[in-house]
Amino acid sequence: MPIVNLLSDTVTKPTQGMLEAMFRAEVGDDVFREDPTVNALEAKCAALFGHEAALFCPSGTMTNQIALKVHTRPLDEVICDEMSHIYQYEVGGYAFHSGISVNLLKGENGILTPELVDAAVKPRQDWLPKSSLVVIENTCNKGGGSIYPPERIRAIRAVCKKHDLALHLDGARIFNALVETGDTPASVGAEVDSLSICLSKGLGTPVGSVLMGNQAFIAEARRVRKVMGGGMRQAGYLAAAGIYALDHHVERLKEDHIHARLLASALAELPYVANIRPVQTNIVIFDLVAPVPAASTADPARLSAAKAAGTTPAAFLDYLKRNGVIASAFGPQTIRFVTHLDVKREMVERAVEVLRGF
């Protein structure tokens, strides 16, 4: 019985076709820009999103951190949602690498509005950080895979222009958004100064992210990648996986979204689930009904009722694991499921059975 791994869309292993593409890759030393497959991947991404240039990097954390560094000077600030990956999950790198502060906004499930951004921009005063960059995340991981409506991005872009701010898109899961909205990569690319995409999430490669921007931005980004230790040599084997993924694994993301909705509709029927964030793509985030504290359950009838409904993430995840389903805690009472390339329909159906058995 294969394990149903809903931990993250980063857990995918290369398919046979991807491995063959990697095996056949022509490679060279990319620090000297002599890896033809890396060059091809960068050119492909730049053309796809309508940007002048692209840079292949080991991780999405690195592409984001490079973008922060190139767009800002020390004592600047970046404006972003409090759920942003750059704030939550990149070890505070904005302060470490770039010497900048962060101006956190409360959007809806990680999605900002132009009004929120406009009101957050600081006036130019000697005693204030200088607002210089806005980062949006599409889809937003902590927001439950939430999608930016395209017109929202355009409106935020207009606010950025008004205040002379750069706009960076953390598009780790941009293709999950695009297959739902039906927009083209170029239409999103046109609204931002830089963007980062992950090849190792839903697209299923073992390693890699790509940063895009204009020539001057990518020239500087290449230097910052090197100082961070991200200059790779025969990286074409990894780039080949990326090219394969862009050609074969984008449209099928819709299946992951169907699978996520199946899981969510099963959860909606279950007594131990308190609430589920709206499911728009491949991420399902939900809260468990909290266990009733022992002191308030002296009455044995109430105690068994409480036990029946309430649970801790640890107990729930342990039950799932014993039944071949892997997931993760995403807060004190919160669980996250992520669907991906290696989760097939029959595995989703099995996971639903396991959920019903708790």
Q: Among 42, 77, 170, 255, which residue interacts with ligand PLP (rule: CB under 6 A)?
A: 170
Identify which of residues 170 and 256 has a Cβ nearer to ligand PLP in the complex.
Answer: 170
- How many residues are recorded in the chain? 358
Identify which of residues 130 and 277 has a Cβ nearer to ligand PLP in the complex.
Answer: 277
Identify which of residues 181 and 323 has a Cβ nearer to ligand PLP in the complex.
Answer: 181
Token pair recorded at residue 336: 């996250």
- In a 3-state reduction of DSSP, which class is residue 128? coil
Identify which of residues 110 and 114 has a Cβ nearer to ligand PLP in the complex.
Answer: 110
Question: Is residue 281 at the binding interface for ligand PLP, with CB under 6 A as the rule?
Answer: no
Write down the least CB distance from residue 274 to ligand PLP, Å.
24
Question: Is residue 198 at the binding interface for ligand PLP, with CB under 6 A as the rule?
Answer: yes
- In a 3-state reduction of DSSP, which class is residue 180? helix
Q: Summarize the chain as % helix, strand, coil (round to 5).
A: 45, 20, 35
**Pairing, β 130-137 against β 166-171:** parallel
Note whether 17 and 205 are within 8 A (CB).
no
Write down the least CB distance from residue 281 to ligand PLP, Å.
11
Q: Among 137, 193, 255, 256, which residue interacts with ligand PLP (rule: CB under 6 A)?
A: 137
Write down the least CB distance from residue 58 to ligand PLP, Å.
8
> Footprint of ligand PLP on residues 100-119 (CB under 6 A)?
none
Q: Among 69, 85, 97, 225, which residue interacts with ligand PLP (rule: CB under 6 A)?
A: 85
Build a one-symbol-per-residue string for 38-77: x at contacts with ligand PLP by CB under 6 A, - elsewhere: ---------------------xxx--x-------------
- In a 3-state reduction of DSSP, which class is residue 191? coil
Phi-psi region of 36 (alpha: psi -120 to 50; beta: other; left: phi over 0): alpha
Identify which of residues 110 and 313 has a Cβ nearer to ligand PLP in the complex.
Answer: 110
Q: Which residue is nearest to ligand PLP (CB)?
A: 60
Identify which of residues 172 and 195 has a Cβ nearer to ligand PLP in the complex.
Answer: 172
Q: Among 109, 141, 194, 339, which residue interacts with ligand PLP (rule: CB under 6 A)?
A: 141
Write down the least CB distance from residue 141 to ligand PLP, Å.
4
Write down the least CB distance from residue 269 to ligand PLP, Å.
29
Write down the least CB distance from residue 61 to ligand PLP, Å.
3
3-state secondary structure 307-320: HHHCCCHHHHHHHH
Note whether 317 and 274 are within 8 A (CB).
no
Identify which of residues 203 and 355 has a Cβ nearer to ligand PLP in the complex.
Answer: 203
CB atoms within 10 A of CB 136: 28
Distance CA 342, CA 6 (A): 9
Identify which of residues 8 and 101 has a Cβ nearer to ligand PLP in the complex.
Answer: 8
Buried b (16+ CB within 10 A) or exposed e, 307-344: eebbbebeebbeebeebebbbeebeebbbbbbbbbbbe
- Residue 69's nearest CA partner among 157, 196, 186, 197 is 196
In one-letter notation, the amino acid at residue 58 is P
Identify which of residues 60 and 204 has a Cβ nearer to ligand PLP in the complex.
Answer: 60
Distance CA 242, CA 71 (A): 26
- Residue 39's nearest CA partner among 18, 50, 54, 52 is 54
> Footprint of ligand PLP on residues 204-223 (CB under 6 A)?
209
Write down the least CB distance from residue 90 to ligand PLP, Å.
7
Token pair recorded at residue 343: 């989760």
Residues making contact with ligand PLP (CB under 6 A) = 59-61, 64, 85, 137, 141, 170, 172, 198, 201, 209
